[in-house]
Amino acid sequence: KAFAEALSHPFRERHLLMKFIGRAFGRLRRPKIAARSPALKSEAKLLSSGVRRLGIEVVRVLKNYREGIVEKELELERIADSAIALFTMAAVISKLDASLSGDTPFEAPREEIAAGKYYCRLASRKVEKRLDALFSDDDEMIEELSDLETGLAHKKNQGAS
């Protein structure tokens, strides 16, 4: 609302417009993920890109559905899956980074490092797939099938009569 009012007086309210524009562009940048070990640079970049994309998609979903989002179970599941994948990715990177940086008494074996790096790739792909499916055309069919399986379709049809 304040932004809309500022647009009617752009010169007088330029500080408010600049603040809004700065925040909007800030959301488009990837957050900085600090990994001390250069060996984890690509994994940190994947995590950063995933966090940025999740933030953008959450705003998009909220803009599209508003309060109706609480009824959109499939979309919420995709967002939750993405957030969980990003969280576990951060944990894996953190553990590997501590091990590679000498913060732990034991150095991680090469197999553990390779497995962690591979997990980050899998998690990143999962985030992309889940977020790509946010506005899936298949959702109506999935909900219809679910209603048929649970008997809700019959009850809905009886209520409409």
What number of CA atoms fall less than 13 Å from residue 90's CA on the CB side? 14
Q: Is the pTM of this model over 0.85?
A: no
Task: Specify whether the CB–CB gap between 33 and 46 falls below 8 A.
Answer: no
- What is the reported pLDDT for 53? 93
Question: What is the distance between the alpha carbons of residues 85 and 79, in angstroms, rounded to a whole number?
Answer: 10
- What is the reported pLDDT for 27? 60
Question: What is the distance between the alpha carbons of residues 130 and 132, in angstroms, rounded to a whole number?
Answer: 5
- What is the reported pLDDT for 79? 92
Per-residue pLDDT tens digits of the chain, which is 161 residues long: 665 666 666 666 677 767 766 666 566 667 788 888 899 999 999 999 999 999 999 888 888 888 877 777 888 899 999 999 999 999 999 999 988 887 766 777 889 999 999 999 999 999 999 999 988 778 778 778 888 888 765 555 566 55
136 contacts: CB under 8 Å, gap ≥ 6: 74
Task: Specify whether the CB–CB gap between 156 and 101 falls below 8 A.
Answer: no
- What is the reported pLDDT for 146? 81
- What is the reported pLDDT for 150? 82
- What is the reported pLDDT for 4? 60
- What is the reported pLDDT for 114? 94
